Amino acid sequence: MLEADFVIVGSGSAGSAMAYRLSEDGRHSVIVIEYGGTDIGPLIQMPSALSIPLNMPRYDWGFASEPEPHLGGRVLATPRGKVLGGSSSINGMVYVRGHARDFDHWAEQGATGWSYADVLPYFKRMEHSHGGEDGWRGTDGPLHVQRGTRKNPLYAAFVDAGREAGFELTDDYNGSKQEGFGPMEQTIHRGRRWSTANAYLRPALKRKNVRLVNGFARKVVIENLRAVGVEIETRGKIEVVRAKREVIIAASSINSPKILMLSGIGPAQHLKDHGIAVVADRPGVGANLQDHLELYIQQESIKPITLNSVLNPWSKALIGARWMLFKSGLGATNHFESAAFVRSAAGVDYPDIQFHFIPAAVRYDGKSAAKSHGFQAHVGPMRSKSRGTVTLRSPDPKEKPVIRFNYMSHPDDWADFRHCIRLTREIFGQAAFDPFRGKEISPGSYVQTDAELDAFIRDHAESALHPSGTCRMGKASDPMAVVDPECRVIGVEDLRVADSSIFPRITNGNLNGPSIMTGEKAADHILGRQPLAPSNQKPWINPRWQVSDR
């Protein structure tokens, strides 16, 4: 019989962390349900191959948005990991904690106990930082975090250009000071992708009290308002994996609300429309969907030093061979090795724009490279006011949900994005880039007016693949909250959600780090442990924030 104390749906960033922590003392049995297959193989483990698994049906759920009305009706891909390690096995391996103020905002929104002081000890517990700021970083956790070698001179040029433009520098944006230009951090260890499958799940599966069950989660089995198991489809038949203590959903900000709704937890009328009996009327399930959008601002390089020279089959074969043999070279990095977090205007107290810098002019999905040598910054606003929804397409669990991001639906988003483009041009125009700068590839120097920039944004803005917020955490009395500050689903006993879907508001930067932290902290709540003692460390806030953007 498939039965354990704790049944976790999803082996991703939060799910693997919880499997590791819940089983650590050997007193509790854990079953992890994962529909995807193995993550073993170079396409996932080799960092520079990151664009390949992102688009493979074998590793990705294959979700896409509905036509986005404010982006000219474009349909945007919404990849989510369908593989051991979940999205941490197909992501860009960029490691960002988020800004201290993000978590203070969570606490203000009703997520009591999730302020920066509360979550910092969990970030430290999970990390094994190589090169981070002393006293602010963990040094013996399961998650290895490193910096790239930054051998290409363009990485230094980007940071120098930021300084020349008057912005701050930071040697560790995950330490005391996020604001500024500096090195980017990676979840890469010894040349391999350091996913949560490698960091957490494999060590956990070596324990006698942890089992991995391959199956498709259809719904939570609820009896008398209490979760008692998970109905799965495996090898063509339907079974129930029973939970003696609790069911924990960690299936992503797309699949977690879908599973709740299929289980009768969600907006009552929407459930009734699909013939699903209402167990708990929670209108917040599937609401509050957020993401980061970004643009690729590309510049030609007049020196042939960019990655565009190694995008031919022969060079790729050599890079792959070196990686296979030695786990080193260009195959052992995600190529995101310089970064920046800056504020868009005076009066903004902490960064609201993120830059990823890469010494190549190429699409994230790897499908098209520029004709010439080039470099690019991925840039976008961090705190869009637009909100979307995830809803059911039908009561059939196999049907993909309806995803409406509603991108760019708030007028402020347009002004923010125009500023991002002009700011990137200002940085690329600094003296540090003089030895390298050719003509602007994208958008192109002829794109200047607000209307021209808006047309470029409408046609070219891409998801940074950070969907979140669809099972928002808040006070139990908040009608739009789905889980309380201990991740318990409001209105149903012995059921929790712990992944990026519970974020009240999206954090600054990439979401893998905060998602793992969520799993770490949720595990202590699930076990009824006293949370780690709050930190008294005070993050750096720019003393000029009221008068200047830099």
Q: How far apart are CA 513 and CA 278, in angstroms?
A: 34
Cis preceding-peptide flag for 504 (omega within 30 of 0) = no
Options 128, 373, 466, 525, the catalytic residue: 466
Which residues line the annotated binding site? 5-34, 83, 91-94
CA 375, CA 154: separation in Å to the nearest integer? 8
Separation CA 467–CA 460 (nearest Å): 18
Contact between 303 and 435 (Cβ < 8 Å): yes
Token reading at 144: 């290895």
Q: How many CA atoms lie within 13 A of 371 on its CB side?
A: 3
Question: Residue 487's CB: how many other CB atoms inside 10 A?
Answer: 28
Phi, psi torsion values for 240, nearest 5 degrees: -115, 125
Q: Quick check: 397 and 262 in contact, CB under 8 A?
A: yes
**Cα-based torsion angle of the residue sequence 429, 432, 438, 440 in order, rounded to the nearest 10 degrees:** -30
Pick from 278, 289, 270, 258: nearest CA to 491 = 278
Residue 121, helix vs strand vs coil = helix
- Looking at the DSSP bridge assignments, the partners of residue 219 are 231
DSSP label at 422? H
Q: How far apart are CA 242 and CA 234, in angstroms?
A: 15
To the query of whether residue 410 is one of the catalytic residues in this protein, the response is no
**Amino acid at position 473, single letter:** M
Burial 429-458 (b: 16+ CB within 10 A, else e): bbebbeebbeebbbbeeeeeeeeebbebbb
| Total residues belonging to the chain | 550
- Are the C-beta atoms of 492 and 264 separated by less than 8 Å? no
Hey, which residues are catalytic here? 466
